Amino acid sequence: MTTYESLLAAVTTDGDGREVLDPATGERIGTAPVVDTAAVGDAVARAAAAQPAWAALGHAERSALLHRAADAVEASSEALAEILSREQGKPLNGPNARFEVGACAAWLRVTADTPTPTQVVVDDGTDFAELHYRPIGVVGAITPWNWPMMIAIWQLAPALRMGNTVVAKPSQYTLLSGLALVEVLNTVLPADVLIAVPGSGELGAALVTDPAVGKIMFTGSTATGKKIIEASAGNVTRLTLELGGNDAGIVLPDVDPKAIAEQLFWGAFINTGQTCAALKRLYVHDDVYDAVCEALVDVAGAMPMGVGLDEANVLGPLQNAMQFDVVDRLVEAAKASGARVLLGGDPERTQPGHFYPATLVADIDPANALVVEEQFGPALPIIRYSDLDDAIALANGLDVGLGASVWSADRDRAREVAARIQAGTVWINSHGGVHPMIPFGGVKQSGYGLEFGAEGLKAVAVPQVVNG
């Protein structure tokens, strides 16, 4: 069993690199190694050289190795969770660090067992055609800092399963988490099948423009996604982009506010709000508005926030000062506009750590910046509505569409409303839950391409028709 100390030692350096500080305490964790752009080219060349043999193993052997990789993750789960908690800030408990590491193992196993998406398209006695999905070659995986291990597995597992090799570029804010995961996986995988390149954003740019990279998978901001589209055009590189979101929830007047309050809370505040598909703006019918607000205050006020290694906490700090400043700016603007703060909104600015309290803001203008800009943190605006058509129009009024939710005691009615919402996923009476067999992706400027299940396997492969 890998210990925290041994795994940390394996992914830190005594030389030059990026100093890593605990976002909850400001304490130094260690120094993460960083490489230059020349190392990216070398990594891509090594991955390209290893790819034919990896593809030749076949689906059965690759799937067996993914199961062994899941075993390795589980054997190192506490060490991985502690590194993740200390570097990213999320607590060990709740839907946080241990949950994330567990999801890594689960996604590896389900991806390994998902049937190959081969399809007979014509077989009429005269013609026969079969659609196969072949490896692309080298896949570049560029991952964010909010779920640095789980989202990495979302990219790595299907790419490897389909016979590609992977060069992974973890976020510069969570280098140790990304390197630790790759370190554990590489105790099982053949050499150069998975290579990590730690460093700043310039490494991602080098990966995107390398002509030997056949596919880029990216999770991050819409602005960066647009740069990737432009940079990849010269090589016609295939892309899967999961970009920014500003998910809306619509609460219909037939709900029981107390019954839905905890689900609403976690839909918005999972990972302290630092989740692409978190509930970020909540539209509540006037008939139940006050009761929903009251129920949310009761739930949110009872959730302990603090240092992630404290087993009692379920909310942690924001991962970095940049994100703290975004949330702080938006909440202060909402307060200045006359919106009513029901809970929170008053961070302790003299203590260490990027802690922003769970914040609920009511009676806010639908056009307020806290509503129309993605806050990516623990601050939820609650907007009152009386006409459902108006609420749907507001939900659809932004240029993003990753997820959304509808809350109602009448599931059929909720599905009717869901059909009118412009989002890649619409949840009913929950928000943000993902499943390794259910396709996930955005619309509008939230990106394109699907992940998970058979659709996710197709996305990291090239289609080939065998005709005859």
| Segment 291-300 mean pLDDT | 98
Q: For 439-466, b where at least 16 C-beta lie within 10 A, e where not — what string? A: bbbbebbbbbbbbbbbbbbbbbbeeeee
- Of 82, 183, 276, 455, which residue is the catalytic one? 276
Q: What is the pLDDT of residues 393-433, one digit of tens each?
A: 999 999 999 999 999 999 999 999 999 999 999 999 999 99
Q: Please check the confidence at residue 351 and state whether its pLDDT lies above 90.
A: no
pTM, 2 dp: 0.97
Q: What is the pLDDT of residues 169-213, one digit of tens each?
A: 999 999 999 999 999 999 999 999 999 999 999 999 999 999 999
Rounded to whole angstroms, the Cα distance separating 281 from 341 reads 15
Whether 100 is a known active-site residue: answer: no
| CB count in 10 Å sphere of residue 372 | 17
373: confidence class by pLDDT, cuts 50, 70, 90 = very high
Q: Please check the confidence at residue 1 and state whether its pLDDT lies above 80.
A: no
Whether 242 is a known active-site residue: answer: yes
Tell me if 229 sits within 8 A of 238, measured CB to CB: no
DSSP single-letter state for residue 235: G
Give the pLDDT score at 391: 98
- Of 100, 242, 374, 455, which residue is the catalytic one? 242
Tell me if 120 sits within 8 A of 454, measured CB to CB: no
Q: Please check the confidence at residue 85 and state whether its pLDDT lies above 90.
A: yes
| Segment 121-139 mean pLDDT | 97
Rounded to whole angstroms, the Cα distance separating 180 from 275 reads 21
Residue 26 buriedness (CB in 10 A; 0-12 / 13-18 / 19+): exposed
Domains of the chain are: 4-243+446-467 (3.40.605.10), 247-428 (3.40.309.10)
Centroid of chain to Cα 325: 21
